[in-house]
């Protein structure tokens, strides 16, 4: 699929470490790679770890295009694609368990649910493995790749037109429909895409829990994964011991509706810090105004630019347009490290040097295509959100603009819709101990979302981490707090004063860093 469609339909609420990247890659090679067991150096009897009715064997969970990986124990898990017709096609899910170091681990199990929609738990986990490490002292961690992702029958379209992707700088509704049909035709050979929704994933997770011997779950969802976690807690409360939500998506939220206004609010808050700092103010004046001046210039004159690849220093050409600018700026806003670079990078681009902006973006993005499955993203958004989207002319003059709704509706006019339960949009009401966390400057799931959700959780608590962006579990002392919360199952009594030491990074006024 060409980049115009990619940029607009990439409305996934993703974790900060996985910023928006192209996502169309080959189906077969990914499924093979995701489930490859560790090779033995010499013949040896296969080791088997039995949990409940599952027989798990050693495996490796790599993060594609990274040296990161995690040793785990894996098993295939068979489920009907359409649960209303269990004699029809079956698909295989990948179940992975990261084993606790305890000889006798706790009977409950941490269940990690990745973001997206479209990310694989197994492929996402290595990036947060450090934050999760304290939990392994007492508990096993379950990584179930949601159906349609990773090693669980991934819905990934091949991108045969990638060579021309960067030439596109305007949205073409008919082209989006045509490219969506091509993707659908590819996937329909081996999948009915109506059955790759959040509701289907919730049923899969419960089946896996029962196969594991029905442990209580410490259910940990990140970004879109918080939607899955809340839906699971609504439908299977007996399976939830504790609930952890990071980058919270309320059940009533229509994915994509608030993206433009949320990004604009986050940028204003970040750039206000520059105005309050004399050195930054003197160096950049008004970064917010500079950004919009650059956007207006690109709206009138999108053009090819050349910059050096920061990894191999090769010459790279891209079309810089208002749409590519919006995508890159949104990605920069996800984390405090890149947000601190944004005024400097925008200023350089406004003066003709796009290297800092596009070069850093290329270094950050890499190939998320191997960790984000676009077909599954369509299946979720077209089934759960698209029919509720309304035109948003009020977003027209924001950096992200008002085109996202139109593009999603165009794609979803082609994509088959799955069922959405009548109570899907109802807020979660539960007495389960719950820990919610948000970043102060999150451009996608701002703290007000967590405030909404915690109202239905009388034993819940919402922590807002100062100066942070999207997905905060690895920030500061948060891993230690997470461990304590899961041990004690008490959010209200948690001493979170260690978070007071967190704050935003100083804004870079030069490429050597912030002014001392």
> What single-letter DSSP state applies at residue 138?
T
Under 8 Å between Cβ of 452 and 462: no
Angle at 13 between CA 12 and CA 19, to 5 degrees: 80
Domain that holds residue 446: 1-37+46-516
Question: Residues 473, 114: contact at Cβ < 8 Å?
Answer: no
pLDDT band, residue 170 (cuts 50/70/90): low
Q: What is the mean pLDDT of residues 485-495?
A: 97
Please, what is the Cα angle at 252 between 124 and 266, to 5 degrees? 65
Given the DSSP bridges, would you call strands 109-113 and 141-144 parallel, antiparallel or unpaired?
parallel
Share of the chain above pLDDT 90, in %: 71
322-332 and 259-276 helices, crossing angle to 10°: 70
Q: Which of 123, 118, 122, 124 is nearest to 147 (CA)?
A: 118
Q: Are strands 240-246 and 217-222 parallel, antiparallel or unpaired?
A: parallel
CATH value at residue 145: 3.40.50.1820
- What is the tens place of the pLDDT at every residue in 466-480? 999 999 999 999 999
Residue scoring higher pLDDT (158 or 270): 270
Residues 58-96 as b/e (b if ≥16 CB within 10 A, e otherwise) read: bbbbbbbeeeeebebbbbebebbbbeeeeeeeebebbbb
35-44, 87-96, 285-294, 446-455: least confident range? 35-44
Distances, alpha carbon 293 to alpha carbons 289, 353, 381, in Å: 6, 15, 33
Is the omega angle on the peptide bond into residue 117 within 30 degrees of 0, that is, cis? yes
Q: What is the CA radius of gyration of the chain?
A: 22
Q: Are 342 and 287 in contact (CB under 8 A)?
A: yes
- pLDDT tier for residue 43 given thresholds of 50, 70 and 90: low
Average pLDDT (108-137) is: 94
pTM of the model: 0.89
Give the chain's domain count: 1
Our measurement of the distance from residue 287's CA atom to the centroid of its chain's CA atoms, rounded to an integer in Å, reads 27
Q: Which tokens hold the place of 184?
A: 């659908």
Is 168 a residue whose pLDDT tops 80? no
């Amino acid at each position: 699929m060409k980049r115009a469609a990619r940029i607009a339909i990439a409305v996934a609420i993703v974790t900060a470490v996985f910023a928006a990247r192209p996502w169309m890659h080959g189906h077969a090679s990914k499924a093979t790679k995701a489930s490859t067991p560790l090779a033995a150096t010499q013949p040896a009897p296969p080791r088997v770890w039995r949990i409940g009715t599952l027989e798990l064997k050693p495996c490796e969970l790599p993060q594609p295009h990274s040296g990161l990986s995690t040793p785990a124990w894996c098993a295939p898990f068979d489920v009907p694609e359409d649960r209303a017709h269990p004699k029809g096609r079956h698909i295989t899910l990948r179940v992975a368990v990261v084993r606790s170091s305890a000889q006798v681990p706790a009977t409950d199990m941490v269940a990690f649910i990745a973001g997206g929609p479209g990310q694989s738990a197994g492929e996402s986990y290595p990036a947060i493995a450090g934050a999760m490490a304290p939990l392994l002292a007492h508990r096993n961690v379950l990584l179930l790749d949601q159906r349609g992702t990773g090693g669980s029958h991934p819905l990934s379209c091949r991108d045969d037109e990638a060579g021309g992707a960067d030439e596109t700088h305007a949205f073409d509704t008919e082209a989006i429909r045509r490219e969506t049909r091509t993707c659908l035709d590819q996937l329909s050979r081996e999948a009915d895409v109506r059955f790759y929704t959040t509701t289907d994933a919730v049923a899969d997770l419960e089946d896996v829990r029962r196969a594991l011997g029905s442990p209580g779950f410490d259910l940990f969802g990140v970004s879109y994964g918080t939607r899955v976690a809340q839906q699971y807690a609504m439908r299977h409360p007996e399976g939830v011991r504790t609930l952890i939500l990071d980058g919270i998506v309320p059940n009533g939220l229509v994915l994509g509706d608030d993206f433009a206004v949320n990004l604009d609010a986050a940028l204003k808050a970040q750039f206000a810090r520059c105005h309050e700092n004399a050195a930054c103010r003197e160096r950049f004046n008004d970064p917010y105004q500079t950004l919009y001046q650059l956007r207006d210039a690109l709206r009138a004159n999108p053009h090819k630019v050349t910059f050096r690849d920061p990894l191999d220093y090769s010459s790279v050409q891209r079309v810089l347009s208002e749409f590519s600018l919006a995508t890159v700026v949104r990605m920069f806003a996800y984390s405090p490290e890149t947000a601190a670079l944004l005024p400097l990078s925008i200023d350089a681009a406004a003066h003709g040097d796009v290297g800092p902006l596009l070069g850093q973006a290329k270094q950050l993005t890499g190939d998320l295509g191997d960790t984000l499955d676009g077909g599954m993203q369509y299946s979720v958004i077209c089934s759960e959100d698209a029919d509720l989207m309304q035109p948003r002319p009020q977003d027209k003059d924001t950096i992200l603009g008002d085109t996202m709704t139109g593009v999603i509706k165009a794609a979803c006019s082609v994509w088959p819709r799955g069922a959405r339960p009548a109570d899907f949009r109802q807020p979660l009401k539960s007495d389960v101990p719950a820990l919610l966390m948000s970043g102060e400057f999150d451009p996608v799931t701002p703290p007000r979302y967590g405030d909404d959700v915690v109202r239905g959780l009388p034993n819940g608590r919402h922590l807002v981490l100062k100066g942070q962006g999207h997905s905060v579990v690895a920030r500061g002392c948060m891993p230690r707090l997470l461990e304590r919360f899961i041990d004690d199952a008490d959010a209200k009594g948690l001493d979170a004063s260690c978070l007071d030491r967190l704050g935003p990074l100083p804004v870079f006024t030069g490429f050597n860093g912030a002014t001392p």
